[in-house]
Structure 1
């Protein structure tokens, strides 16, 4: 069942997000390690304005287990989404200029799909596709008509999924030293 994320999902969601961060080979992860990174994400998850805050995401729950999650935000909010992390790091005595992400990722005038992850035990069951369909709810709620995302050029399987789901190439972008294709699609009306 796809549902809006809840505050109590933080620890489970943090584990899914960690997989993405490892794939991105972020300096933040190398510097702070997995345990501290998990704690930071899970703690900041409780702030609805955070990049991975509960109010910015949907989860797929199967038999009480978070099988997948998707998070995003309107492009015009990108400047504020990491403030909760800065506040958390400061509370831990970590210098204020430390960042998990330093690159701009969203294109103007879109709802940016920041992260989508499916637990390894649940892969191959169509959960990613279901989450991609469900993000229209989040984008429409924010008043956006276009959904954008970035896919690593080294991940052709993900790109095929996005193409099947109606996304098309809209440009290229460098994020954390990796080249990504930026893709977009129009928000699909939700049929109730």
Structure 2
């Protein structure tokens, strides 16, 4: 079953996102422990304007467990999506100038798919495809004609999935020192 994320999902969302954070080798991971960072991201999920705010995410639930998550938003929101995390940094005594994400990721005028993660035990079941299609429907409902995402060039399986769903490479980009391909679907 697909449903919108809720504030109660924060801890599970943050735990699943950890895989992305590690793959991206985000610099903040060297300054804040895994458990503390998961706690902080989970707290920020409660703010609907956050990058991973509950109103920006869809959950694929299977057998009462979160099997996959996806987060997306209009590119124009990229300017404000990390402000809630900044507040959490301050609350826990960290430098408010620290950032989990330092680079712009979205391209102008697109609905941007920030993150998609499928729990390892549920991979290969088509959950990622279903989440991508559903997020695409939301983008269309919100009036967007272009959906964009970034794929790490070191992740050919993900690129194959996105290509199969109609995404096409439009540019190369660098995020947190890693090479990505920006892909879009009309």
How far does residue 44 in structure 1 lie from its aligned partner after superposition?
0.4
Match of 1:66 in 2: 66
Q: Provide Cα deviations, 1:139-191, integer angstroms capped at 9, x if missing partner.
A: 134321110000000110100000000000110110000010000002xxxxx
* Aligned-residue CA RMSD (Å): 0.9
TM-score by length of 2: 0.98
Match of 2:161 in 1: 161
TM-score by length of 1: 0.95
Match of 1:85 in 2: 85
**Structure 1, gaps ≥5 residues long:** 187-192
Aligned residues: 186
Q: Distance in 1 between matches of 2:141 and 2:17?
A: 23
**Structure 2, gaps ≥5 residues long:** none
Match of 2:57 in 1: 57
The list of structure 1 runs, each at least 4 consecutive aligned residues, that deviate by more than 4 angstroms after superposition, is none
Distance 1:141 1:10, change over 3 A: farther
Match of 1:45 in 2: 45
How far does residue 136 in structure 1 lie from its aligned partner after superposition?
1.5
How far does residue 77 in structure 1 lie from its aligned partner after superposition?
0.6
Q: Distance in 2 between matches of 1:179 and 1:131?
A: 24
Q: Distance in 1 between matches of 2:168 and 2:137?
A: 20
